[in-house]
Structure 1
Amino acid sequence: MSRIHKTYPYLLAHESPSSVLIDMAYRVNPDFNLTGSTLVVDYDLAKLKRMQPDKWMCGELEDVEGLFNRLLMQVFQYDSPYQVQRDILAASKLIVPTGEFRVSVPPKVGAKRVKSIADQCFQSVHAVKTKGESLLICRQPLPKDPLPGAHSITYHDPVSDKELKFYTIPGMFSSNNVDKGTDLLLQTVSLVKDSSVLDIGCGYGVIGVVAAMRGATVSLLDVDARAIKLARRNLQLNGHSGKVYLKIQPYDFVDNAFDVVLSNPPTHAGSITLQQLFSEMVRVCRPAGYVAIVVREQLNYEKWLVKLGNVTILAKANGYKIIQIKKG
């Protein structure tokens, strides 16, 4: 019976890294011990920066061009079924007919579900399982049509009394409707026409698009390449323009670059990342302007924010609060 290599979870026990050369690795953990010649692809720019591979690209598999002999992909517990299916479909079009696609599936993800998707896209799918990872070895690709694209949702702006349309995809934050926290932020903040606004962690672009509709000059920033594509599309969809950046933090902006900085920040990112992010928000905000963020009411970020400026709680509702920071 086959077993998975303990040190290299994308290899079988009898295989060595030199005998199984991976041309491209998609969304893998840094401890996968890949060679320098491997192209590493991920839609999370922050993860790529931590890995520092020799060859990399920020995007989804559907953004990759060319054909590959051996492609490796890792599935994660938080991945949406839609994203997994979308990625496997894309992989089937990137593998040469004699090539191989390997999928590493951790416990609790559901290897059977992932295999059922792979069975639709490859003629041969061999599953190897241990107490830890499961490994699917897929051969003889059967390229399929891509999944239906993004679906649309609507948002009624309470300030302008206008209806907006947004495209999003399953797996994105708040993909079925605009979340209550973002809605509270947009109800609370006042945006002066022609002011410059930076939306940090923009997702599919709700805050930035609404700000643009209210007359602001907008810039949107996110680490997720999927979000960036959607944000650009949603600005255009609603008849507005703006600058959209794929960046980890607003390091590249000069001091005092924006009148207003808005964010529904990634509170899962960890305390160090969040403190750096809050500091950068204040740095790029003009003295006469303000930073406004929305977070869960129980989160005590004020203990960090008071070191950066004057802090005011502008609103509370539905378990969220709006925190404003002005330079002291």
Structure 2
Amino acid sequence: MSNAPTSEVLLRQIERFQGRVLLAGLPADALLGDLPQARGWSWHAGDARQLEGRYPDRCHFGATPPEGPFDAAVLFLPKSRELTDYLLAALANCVPDGELYLVGEKRAGVERASKQLGEFGRASKLDSARHCQLWHTHIDGAPAAPDLHALAQRYELPLADGPLQVVTLPGVFSHGRLDRGSALLLEHLDKLPTGHLLDFGCGAGVLGATLKRRYPQSQLTLLDVDAFAVESSRLTLAANGLEGEVIAGDGIDAAPENLAAIVSNPPFHQGVHTSYAATEHLLRQSARHLASGGELRLVANSFLKYPPLIEQHLGPCRTLAEADGFRIYSARR
């Protein structure tokens, strides 16, 4: 298996990473095989599952780091600036009097993020190759561990049945605000089949919480690939006194079966790249997870050609609404 460019840049300095190293946000490649004493920390359920399958007991999944101590830590630059702040602080706490590294693609903004690294000590660039950069600083002492929940943003949504409290953590889609697609879908959640409902790609849990309030007798599951989204959804449900099962999983394959409805503002970003693979897989596989008569209802950018895919794999596709460059699609099994 070939390594990601960021991993290759690390391996050019392999002597630095021989000890107990924590690799945070690492790609699902062979890097752990090259660094036998290293440990992975991933908040992407798919990457974590792949790494755990290849390197058992060596990759931790979650929104907080594994127990240390570590001699050094490496952050593979995430997309969100606020998430980078949290992760650097968490890693600095994991390596008291140790080394902290930052690696990322130039086009993802690694040079800008090196200034965030510089808040923990003098940052220096060690290498530049494969369109990536590797930065380093030494951690003096043991900075306090950041309180993840204290970094949450809260806002209130005025809904017809009363205000809904939304709690979002750094790095979660639409952190601190409601996106236009979800806002449109929230207006079109009536007449769903009753039974087991799934909020697919739940993010901060806005759709799931709204569904549980509107259909209180229904069983609710919320699913996301991202550990920070899973934690945000749990916080949102708790803030509104609502119950639901929140699970981490990579795509619709991780979802329960025999669902009455799948409701989604599906994800289409993977790192700095745009990817529609998870949504297209959802459209192909949703029939396997829906009960007979079960409904798929989702919002999507109107330029995306989803109806033919929905009709091919599920059934006749109706457009329930269109506004602000988005459409609401519905199809029943």
Under TM normalisation by the shorter chain, which class is it? Answer: 0.7 to 0.9
- Could you tell me which residue of structure 1 aligns to residue 328 of structure 2? 322
Query: After the TM superposition, which residues 23-42 of structure 1 pair with which residues of structure 2 at under 5 Å, given as runs?
Result: 23-31=21-29, 33-34=31-32, 35-42=35-42
Contact 1:154 1:164 survives alignment (8 Å): yes
Give me the whole-angstrom Cα distance separating, in 1, the residues matched to 2:303 and 2:206: 24
User: Deviation of residue 279 (structure 1)?
Assistant: 3.0
**Residue in 1 that maps onto 2:101:** 102
Alignment: residue pair count: 313
Query: Are 2:227 and 1:225 equivalent residues in the alignment?
Result: yes
Per-residue deviation at 1:317? 1.3
Deviations 1:30-57 (A, max 9, x none): 4573334422111111233455541212
Deviation, structure 1 residue 235:
0.5
SS at match of 1:155: strand
**195-204 vs 104-113, greater mean Cα deviation:** 104-113
Amino acid in the other structure paired with 1:238: N
Q: 2:294 aligns with which of 272, 289, 292?
A: 289
Deviations 1:95-124 (A, max 9, x none): 142x222211321444554333223324x5
Which has the larger displacement, 62-71 or 272-281? 272-281
Q: 1:74 to 1:202 in 2, by over 3 A?
A: same
1:256-309 CA-partner distances (Å, limit 9, x unpaired): x22111011113464543332223322222222311011011111112111122
Give the whole-Å Cα distance in 1 for the aligned partners of 2:255 and 2:303.
Answer: 31
Larger Rg, first or second structure (1 or 2):
1
Give 1:258's aligned amino acid.
L
Unaligned runs of 5+ in 1: none
What percentage of aligned pairs have identical amino acids?
22
- One-letter amino acid matched to 2:198: L
Q: Cα 1:141–1:193, aligned 2, differ >3 Å: closer, same or farther?
A: farther
Distance 1:36 1:45, change over 3 A: farther
Structure-2-length-normalised TM-score: 0.84
More helix by share: 2
Which residue in the other structure is 2:310 paired with?
Answer: 305
Partner Cα separation in structure 2 for residue 169 and residue 254 of structure 1? 26
1:238 matched residue in structure 2:
240
Instruction: Give the aligned partner of residue 198 of structure 1.
Output: 198
Structure 2 gaps of 5+ residues are: none
Q: How far, CA to CA, are the matches of 2:276 and 2:193 in structure 1? A: 34
**TM-score, structure 1 length as denominator?**
0.85
RMSD: 2.7
4+ residue stretches of structure 1 with deviation over 6 A?
Answer: none
1:129: Cα distance to partner? Answer: 4.2
SS where residue 262 of structure 1 aligns? strand
